[in-house]
Amino acid sequence: MNRLIALAVAAGFSAMAALLSQPAVAEGERDWQETVASARGETVHFNAWAGDPQTNAFIAWVGDLARERYGISIRHVKLADTAEAVTRVVTEKAAGRDKGGSVDLIWINGPNFLSMKEKSLLFGPFAEKLPNWRHVDRTKPSNLTDFTIPVEGYAAPWRLAQVVFLYDSARTPLATLPKTVPAFLDWAKAHPGRLTHPHPRDFLGATFLKQALVELAADPAVLQQPASEATFATVTAPLWAWYDALRPHLWRGGQDFPVTGTAQLAMLTDGEIALAISFNPADAAVGIRKGSLPETARVYVLDGGTIGNTSFVAIPFNAAHKAAAMVVADLLMSPEVQARAQDPAAIGAVTVLDLAGLSDGERARFAPPPDAVGLPTNAELGTPLPEPHPSWMTRLVAEWERRYTR
Per-residue pLDDT of the chain (406 residues; tens, 9 = 90+): 444 444 444 444 444 444 444 444 456 788 999 999 999 999 999 999 998 888 999 999 999 999 999 999 999 999 999 999 999 999 999 999 999 999 999 999 989 999 999 999 999 999 999 999 999 999 989 999 999 999 999 999 999 999 999 999 999 999 999 999 999 999 999 999 999 999 999 999 999 999 999 999 999 999 999 999 989 999 999 999 999 999 999 999 999 999 999 899 999 999 999 999 999 999 999 999 889 999 999 999 999 999 999 999 999 999 999 999 999 999 999 999 999 999 988 988 989 999 999 999 999 999 888 888 999 987 898 889 999 999 999 999 999 999 998 7
* Cβ atoms 366, 351 nearer than 8 A: yes
Predicted pLDDT of residue 6 = 46
pLDDT for the residue numbered 26: 56
CA–CA separation, 348 and 26 (whole Å): 36
CA distance 127 to 208: 31
- Return d(Cα 16, Cα 222) in angstroms, integer: 57
d(CA 390, CA 149): 9
What is the H or E stretch that residue 342 is in?
Answer: helix 335-342
Distance CA 81, CA 85 (A): 8
| DSSP result, 223-249 | GGS---HHHHHHHHHHHHHHHHHHGGG
What's the pTM? Answer: 0.82
pLDDT of residue 27: 64
Query: Pairing relation of β-strands 149-150 and 43-49?
Result: unpaired
All structural domains of the chain, each given as residue ranges with its CATH number in brackets, are 35-158+309-371 (3.40.190.10), 164-308+385-404 (3.40.190.10)
∠ CA 313-301-386, rounded to 5°: 45
Q: Classify the phi-psi angles of 230: left when phi > 0, otherwise alpha if psi is within -120 to 50, otherwise beta.
A: alpha
pLDDT at 153: 97
- Helix 322-332 / helix 53-70 crossing angle, nearest 10 deg: 120
Supply the pLDDT for residue 397. Answer: 96
Cα gap 302→82, rounded to integer Å: 28
- Please calculate the CA angle 132-137-138 and round it to the nearest 5 degrees: 105
d(CA 327, CA 364): 24
3-state secondary structure of 270: coil
**Cα(405)–Cα(392) distance, rounded to whole angstroms?**
19
Q: How far apart are CA 386 and CA 39, in angstroms?
A: 36
Alpha carbons 248 and 231: distance in angstroms, whole number: 27
Residue 355: closest CA among 152, 160, 183? 160
Confidence at residue 378, expressed as pLDDT on a 0 to 100 scale: 79
Can the peptide bond before residue 131 be classed as cis, meaning omega within 30 degrees of 0? no
Task: Report the alpha-carbon distance of residue 122 to residue 103 in Å, rounded.
Answer: 11
Q: Which of 2, 395, 11 is nearest to 226 (CA)?
A: 395
